[in-house]
Amino acid sequence: MAVRSLQDSAIDRRTVIKLALAASIPGAWRSGHALAQPALAADPFSLGVASAPSGPGAVVLWTRIVPGLDAQIARFSKLATEDYVATRRSFVEPGGSLDVRWELAADEGFRNIVRRGTSAAPAELAHSVHVEIEGLDPWRPYHYRFLYGDAVSPAGITRALPAQAKRLRFALASCQHYEHGYFGAYEAMRADDPDFVVFVGDYIYEGGPRDSRFRIHPFPSARTLFDYRLRHALYKLDPSLQKMHRHCPWVLTWDDHEVSNDYARDTGEDLDIDGAARRTAAYQAYYEHMPVSANALVERFSDVRMYRRLAAGDLAAFLVLDDRQYRDRQACQPQGRGGSSVVEDNACSERRDPARTLLGPEQMGWLRRELSATRSRWTFITQQTAFSRMMRNDRGHRFWTDGWDGYPAERARVLGMLAEARPPNPVVLGGDVHTTYVCDVKSDFDAPRSPTIATEFCGTSITSPSSFDARRMAALVDANPHVLFGDGMRRGYLLADVSAQNLQVRLRAMDDVTQRVPKVSTAGAWIVEDGKAGAHVLQG
Ligand SMILES: [Fe+2]
């Protein structure tokens, strides 16, 4: 199916990839292809700016030219589904490619410009701009901004990952559900001043409105490219989120809600017939709204390579995984629907089927090679969901089938790789479950005395709630002795300080997720010493 069926413009996917690659390379786009810069009545930079580290000495800068966004959102808000669809049908997206200028400077005042250029913002990519810059001084802060006509974007700060580093600080975040609060956690995160943010998925939620919530999604469930663009725009308008993107670069991967709940390859929870087209549309909108390198586009938007290695010199390597795009469907799905469930071990032998995969064979092969090759002091396996066993001991031995517990043979293969390759100080980072977990990663979770071969920190969520209250959490921790800490009640993020000697991680928890600027305090702190897998409590 061509992209044409998903949006108004007539363009095939291969052309989109060509556009993306050409548009992202500074100077590669001939201005003859682009329109002159017509003046815009409204601010074209209302979605802000963002950046991400890519290869050594390299960053991606992002913005999207979208004037009059407030009016567009208002026009589509709170309509009945059929009215929304009719309005969507009559909506004409602005066409043409725009020339957008950009500047990278050594100083805040943009007096000392280090690089400047012009990049294309093609209509086919929602007038998004992706600028790939190489050859930067590692770890040096640079200021960047975009210019279009008379408009100047807000300025952001970026930096390429260090060639060498004595220490670095990053924040681990995930799961920002619009309906459950403001993204005020980012106000405190900014004050904590991380070098970069590691975001492990659920940047948007795709669902329709639910009445009982703090604020409601004003649109029906996202299914088409138009819908996902509107959804990303809605989320990106959060001022705290925009400020955090301006503060530092982000290391990104995605989870399920960037497409649909619990999706596995092309199958979502509702077993939709248009799963492949929906996923392709969602991936394209994600690309259009994020500082993702055009090199991630393998061939088309149905095949985007998010798994990659990012190295912070000899101090830390981040092996970023994608556990959605290549996974088998969740085991023992309930009759008539896809997605996950909680299954009793004896009632679901499919869960243990060694043929089932979570990462897919290619990514597993890549991970094996990377784990063997990495020499950085800390090896961060940066992925979406809870890794360690989280057995529920009520009513038998029960497991949730969406996380690694749903794919125990694949997890055992990764544990085997860790035992064999022995990468320096492996630490699993995760999200998805709206719960903070600190775990000793055992070589065999069913044998409590087996060696601890890695450490796991699973982040809480920016806003999304957990169903694990204190009583349920205590029972889960009790049933899983490798879980040192579990908390489903606190929203916020994890703050990690990395040095050659140790890794220190703090749970930064908000008092009230419905405040624009909540109070944030440290609700737990742990340390992992160099050379010794497993966490120890510093506070909490
Ligand atoms: Fe989530």
Radius of gyration of the chain from its Cα atoms, rounded to whole angstroms: 22
C-alpha closest to that of 194 among 138, 142, 251, 255:
251
What's 244-259 look like in SS3?
A: HHHHCCEEECCCCCCC
- Residue 160 DSSP symbol: B
Please tell me the distance between residue 205's alpha carbon and the centre of ligand 1 in angstroms: 8
Summarised one tens digit per residue, pLDDT across range 335-374 is 999 999 999 999 999 999 999 999 999 999 999 999 999 9
Alpha carbons 19 and 12: distance in angstroms, whole number = 11
Mean pLDDT for 3-22 is 52
Alpha carbons 132 and 295: distance in angstroms, whole number = 10
Choice among 110-119, 141-150, 297-306 with the minimum mean pLDDT: 297-306
Q: Are 482 and 163 spatial neighbours (Cβ–Cβ below 8 Å)?
A: no
Alpha carbons 445 and 443: distance in angstroms, whole number = 6
Please tell me the distance between residue 435's alpha carbon and the centre of ligand 1 in angstroms: 10
Please tell me the distance between residue 85's alpha carbon and the centre of ligand 1 in angstroms: 27
Say what the pLDDT of residue 19 is. 72
Please tell me the distance between residue 464's alpha carbon and the centre of ligand 1 in angstroms: 6
Residue 406's CB: how many other CB atoms inside 10 A? Answer: 28
**Region of 271 on the Ramachandran plot (φ > 0 left; ψ -120 to 50 alpha; else beta):** left
Q: Tokens 């066993």 belong to which residue?
A: 389
Q: 72: which 2 tokens?
A: 């567009």
Distance of CA 408 to the CA centre of its chain: 24
Please tell me the distance between residue 150's alpha carbon and the centre of ligand 1 in angstroms: 39
Indicate whether 290 pLDDT > 60: yes
Alpha carbons 133 and 455: distance in angstroms, whole number = 34
Summarised one tens digit per residue, pLDDT across range 376-430 is 999 999 999 999 999 999 888 999 999 999 999 999 999 999 999 999 999 999 9
Please tell me the distance between residue 257's alpha carbon and the centre of ligand 1 in angstroms: 7
Residue 111's CB: how many other CB atoms inside 10 A? Answer: 8
Q: Are 324 and 382 spatial neighbours (Cβ–Cβ below 8 Å)?
A: no
Please tell me the distance between residue 252's alpha carbon and the centre of ligand 1 in angstroms: 15
| Bridge partners (DSSP) listed for residue 50 | 62
DSSP letters along 390-449, please?
Answer: --B-TTSSEEESSSGGG-HHHHHHHHHHHHHH--SSEEEEE-SSSSEEEEEEESSTT-TT
Please tell me the distance between residue 294's alpha carbon and the centre of ligand 1 in angstroms: 26
Enumerate residues with CB within 5 Å of ligand 1 (an ion).
175, 202, 464
Alpha carbons 496 and 2: distance in angstroms, whole number = 43
Please tell me the distance between residue 466's alpha carbon and the centre of ligand 1 in angstroms: 9
Say what the pLDDT of residue 30 is. 37
Q: Are 134 and 55 spatial neighbours (Cβ–Cβ below 8 Å)?
A: yes
Please tell me the distance between residue 175's alpha carbon and the centre of ligand 1 in angstroms: 4
